[in-house]
Structure 1
Amino acid sequence: MGSIVIAIPEGEGSVSVPPIKEKKNKFVDSLVHVISFLGENKNRNDVRKIIHSIKVGIALVLVSLLYLLDPVYTQVGENAMWAIMTVVVLFEFFAGATLSKGLNRGIGTILGGGLGCLAAALAQEIGGVGNAIVIGTCVFIFGAAATYCRLVPSIKKGYDYGAMIFILTFNLVVVSGLRAEKIVQLARERLCTIVMGFVVCIFTSLLVFPIWASDDLHDSVTSKFEDLARSIETCLEEYFSIGSEKENRPKFSFNSCKSVLYSKAKDESLANFARWEPWHGKFGFSYPWEKYLQIGEVLRDVAATTLSFKGCLRSPRQSSDTLRASIKEPCEVVGSSLAWTLRELGESIMKMRRCQTVALIMPKLKSMRQELSVVVLASPSTIGGQVQNSDGLEIASFVFTLMEIIDKVEELTKQVEELGELASFLANK
């Protein structure tokens, strides 16, 4: 019996199957698009928030197994709730913050529970009316002392949470009214479940896509150098623009300087968390985070000085274009040199390499100061002679501000050099 071949013509009834290679290319393009989206700086913070949320969910699932698994539940019982509470309270965005709160909570719980057991045992030995007197006295003394310690700046900065947990634990144990042996048993069981929750938090925070406060502090400080360099350049461009250039140019907003100026609280918080973080990546033990705060202080001084340019740029008493043109060239040279110096210092910290401070930057700063001094002294009739007419006041203020920035950048250069020595930066080749 012969075979019959039926030809199906291409038309409306035909089914076109897309090539497999085309589907693969579309998938690769989509994957590349997603990766590029996640890699952009503006989306980096959103991605980290998602990662943190997923990590908290994982930690809650792990610690909930104390309730869900019967063999484990028979060992810990209702105290498993303390482990869940520990995860909810301890888990922070940064790994250092989680470790800091966990250790503070552990130390506060142990000290508060131990002293509370001793006080409760002493009250039981005395008995009668003396029981209430001893408990009230202990609660007053330890509660007042711990509260006073929380007000000390050095303790409040790193151990405020531990002091609060100490007060809470001590009062719960002392005022519980149970017998001393039951108090010890209850404290031991709850401490074990708290340790379980703490271990889950640390395991998830440090081992599952950790978010380091030290990296944020390092990036935050280095980015300030670029922001200030760009601000100085933009101020000079706007100041010396004339005619139609000034009308068409958008006014400088000084937002970068303001963000640097208001960054103290954030930097101190990140530095506090970074001190608790273990060795990781390029940051070893006892890394000089305090020096980052000192550099941040000088950067804020530079930002505040740069903000004083606003008076020259926005003043209704503007000097003439001719007067500005007389100092344009030396001031622009100084401004570009300052921007270059700030970028060099920022790159030195970012790449963790020693900057050629003595050999290159410091002599350059001294020569900039000399150039501005020559500008003022060489043309007293141009600048000083116009002071009586208020035309030279604004020019003199502008030059003085530039000289102030040079002094601040010189101090900043010394701070960066000291950081390189303390952090053992590699020599710049």
Structure 2
Amino acid sequence: MDSITETRTKPHDCRDSVVIPVDDTEILIIEKKRKGWRCLHYVAQVIQVADYKRLVHAMKFGLALVLVSLLYMLEAVHDKLGDNAMWAVMTVVVVFEYTAGATVTKGLNRLVGTILGGGLGSLVAIIAQEIGGVGKAVIIGISIFIFGAAATYLRTIANIKKKYDYGVLIFILTLSLVSISGVRVDEIIQVASARLSSICMGFGICALVSLFIFPVWAGDELHSSLASKFNSIAHSIEDCMNSKKMMGEARKPSNCLSVLSSKSMDESLANFAKWEPWHGRFGFYYPWNKYLQIAGHLRELAACITSAEGQLKAKQEISINPLLLSIKEQCEATSLLLVNTMTQLRDCIIYMKQFPRQELVLEELQARRVQLSSHIQVSSLALTINQSAGSENGMKGSGVRIVIQVFLLVEILDKVELLVKEVKELGISAGFVNQTLDDKC
């Protein structure tokens, strides 16, 4: 072949090799194709990793924005509301949230704040127009100062800030805008009603899209979050009390960190879930506050497990103590019981079934607590004997850590026992399905 030039060389292993030169243009084309495929592969990874719920939320927001924009383009709407129709677009941008409950809550806050602020602002503007002259500015200034300061003070109250902070903020904004507009605009009532109508249209579009098109319920999110906390706690207990980790092997980051930092998210989801309509098995007056109580107990349990992990980490620096080996089996049996209990509680919450083995599990937990309490006494006695005999510092430190570790195990047992009772009460108040001992949660 004339296009291929073969060059034979003699390497050290005495075997022939063939070198085939390739044109530079072909190399450039191949590299460009590789870069293109690499880019497509990266986009595919991003789409695959992204949560489909968040993608759906983004598309729902785009749909709501399109609908409100088309509504603004209608001649009938624009002729009646004028430029005030832009408030509908602003409402969609500000109000639309990830969950349906958050959207409804924020929309109602905005609606009530607009009604109260607009009504009070219109009253102030009308009174100011009746007075006229310099008194108009005085009345408006005093009114804005008094109501604005009072509303701002209300925002500092914890319960109001948690539930109605956005509504109070909209009240202050609407009151100020309507009162000031009354100085220049004569038909203040028409202006306020037009803005209120625009906000109602924007909120209506947000509510329809959020509630009826692939809704994401805050109640479902809170329910799944509570079940995942039980799962994280179970994994943390298993990792913390595993015999290999007690022998000083490397440990992974704790699963309890996400549980410890979930308080604000749980409270927000519970607040939003109360405003959601009936969906699935979550009806009106569902005991969402019970979810918050159980989540609080789980955070306390996570704090105890984190302390236990700290004690195990300190043991890596010392040699294995014979006393530690003597109670290792008890620790492993305790960890297995705790993991099984937390797993059963998680399944009962996921499938919304009552816990049938409450009495049996409570008896097992109490018996295990008695055994560990006896180990605390034995460990304390051994520590006292070692100190009296003048043992080495390593032996003393090991004994102290053993007592602390077993004491933390007893604390964990107490909190798991409390969780069993709380989940049982949740099943009764929420109407979980009854089941027999042979059934699984």
Q: TM-score, structure 1 length as denominator?
A: 0.84
Alpha-carbon distance in structure 1 between the residues aligned to 2:71 and 2:331: 69
Distance of aligned partners of 1:241 and 1:132 in 2 relative to their CA distance in 1, 3 Å threshold: closer
The match for 2:229 among 224, 232, 252 is: 224
Q: Are the equivalent residues in 1 in contact too, given 2:379–2:402 (CA < 8 A)?
A: no
Alpha-carbon distance in structure 2 between the residues aligned to 1:396 and 1:64: 68
User: What are the superposed Cα offsets for residues 97-156 of structure 1, whole Å, 9 maximum, x if unpaired?
Assistant: 111110000000000010111111112222223222211111111101111111111000
Residue 200 of structure 2 corresponds to residue 195 of structure 1: yes
User: What is residue 366 of structure 1 aligned with on the other side?
Assistant: 366
Alpha-carbon distance in structure 2 between the residues aligned to 1:425 and 1:392: 46
User: What is residue 376 of structure 1 aligned with on the other side?
Assistant: 376
Distance of aligned partners of 1:185 and 1:345 in 2 relative to their CA distance in 1, 3 Å threshold: same
Residue 318 of structure 2 corresponds to residue 311 of structure 1: no
SS in 2 for 1:277: coil
Distance of aligned partners of 1:206 and 1:386 in 2 relative to their CA distance in 1, 3 Å threshold: farther
Tell me which moved more, 102-111 or 168-177.
168-177
Distance of aligned partners of 1:263 and 1:386 in 2 relative to their CA distance in 1, 3 Å threshold: farther
Q: Are the equivalent residues in 1 in contact too, given 2:358–2:424 (CA < 8 A)?
A: no
User: What is residue 397 of structure 2 aligned with on the other side?
Assistant: 390
User: What are the superposed Cα offsets for residues 184-219 of structure 1, whole Å, 9 maximum, x if unpaired?
Assistant: 001111111111111110000110001111111111
Residue 265 of structure 2 corresponds to residue 258 of structure 1: no
Percent identity, aligned pairs only? Answer: 49
Residue 62 of structure 2 corresponds to residue 65 of structure 1: no
SS in 1 for 2:182: coil
Q: Which residue identity is paired with 1:344?
A: Q
Distance of aligned partners of 1:72 and 1:122 in 2 relative to their CA distance in 1, 3 Å threshold: closer
How do 1:70-149 and structure 2 match up within 5 A? 70-149=75-154
Distance of aligned partners of 1:386 and 1:232 in 2 relative to their CA distance in 1, 3 Å threshold: farther
Q: CA deviation at 1:334?
A: 1.1
User: What is residue 331 of structure 1 aligned with on the other side?
Assistant: 331
Alpha-carbon distance in structure 2 between the residues aligned to 1:262 and 1:57: 32
Q: Are the equivalent residues in 2 in contact too, given 1:124–1:180 (CA < 8 A)?
A: no
Task: Count matched residues.
Answer: 384
Q: Are the equivalent residues in 2 in contact too, given 1:386–1:393 (CA < 8 A)?
A: no
Alpha-carbon distance in structure 2 between the residues aligned to 1:384 and 1:294: 41
SS in 2 for 1:303: helix
Q: Which residue identity is paired with 1:185?
A: Q
Residue 275 of structure 2 corresponds to residue 270 of structure 1: no
Q: Are the equivalent residues in 2 in contact too, given 1:319–1:392 (CA < 8 A)?
A: no
Q: Are the equivalent residues in 2 in contact too, given 1:213–1:271 (CA < 8 A)?
A: yes
User: What is residue 294 of structure 2 aligned with on the other side?
Assistant: 295
Alpha-carbon distance in structure 2 between the residues aligned to 1:200 and 1:188: 18
Q: CA deviation at 1:165?
A: 0.4
Q: CA deviation at 1:70?
A: 2.9
Residue 158 of structure 2 corresponds to residue 153 of structure 1: yes
Alpha-carbon distance in structure 2 between the residues aligned to 1:121 and 1:70: 31
Q: Are the equivalent residues in 2 in contact too, given 1:112–1:169 (CA < 8 A)?
A: yes
Distance of aligned partners of 1:325 and 1:75 in 2 relative to their CA distance in 1, 3 Å threshold: same
User: What are the superposed Cα offsets for residues 276-296 of structure 1, whole Å, 9 maximum, x if unpaired?
Assistant: 211111211111111111111
User: What is residue 14 of structure 2 aligned with on the other side?
Assistant: none
Q: Which residue identity is paired with 1:301?
A: E
Q: Which residue identity is paired with 2:299?
A: R
Q: Are the equivalent residues in 2 in contact too, given 1:96–1:274 (CA < 8 A)?
A: yes
Alpha-carbon distance in structure 2 between the residues aligned to 1:391 and 1:142: 64
Alpha-carbon distance in structure 2 between the residues aligned to 1:155 and 1:357: 41
Residue 420 of structure 2 corresponds to residue 421 of structure 1: no
Alpha-carbon distance in structure 1 between the residues aligned to 2:136 and 2:245: 81
Q: Are the equivalent residues in 2 in contact too, given 1:338–1:406 (CA < 8 A)?
A: yes
Structure 2 unaligned blocks of 5 or more = 1-43, 437-441
Q: Are the equivalent residues in 1 in contact too, given 2:380–2:403 (CA < 8 A)?
A: no
SS in 2 for 1:276: coil
Q: Which residue identity is paired with 1:175?
A: I
Q: Are the equivalent residues in 2 in contact too, given 1:319–1:395 (CA < 8 A)?
A: no
Q: TM-score, structure 2 length as denominator?
A: 0.82
Tell me which moved more, 73-82 or 343-352.
73-82
Q: Are the equivalent residues in 1 in contact too, given 2:122–2:182 (CA < 8 A)?
A: no
Structure 1 unaligned blocks of 5 or more = 1-36
Distance of aligned partners of 1:381 and 1:114 in 2 relative to their CA distance in 1, 3 Å threshold: closer
Q: Are the equivalent residues in 2 in contact too, given 1:121–1:180 (CA < 8 A)?
A: no
Residue 176 of structure 2 corresponds to residue 177 of structure 1: no
Distance of aligned partners of 1:350 and 1:377 in 2 relative to their CA distance in 1, 3 Å threshold: same
Residue 342 of structure 2 corresponds to residue 342 of structure 1: yes
Q: Which residue identity is paired with 2:72?
A: Y
Distance of aligned partners of 1:350 and 1:154 in 2 relative to their CA distance in 1, 3 Å threshold: same
Give the aligned CA root-mean-square deviation in angstroms: 2.3
User: What are the superposed Cα offsets for residues 216-249 of structure 1, whole Å, 9 maximum, x if unpaired?
Assistant: 111111111111111111122256654xxx5xx5
The match for 1:204 among 209, 227, 241 is: 209
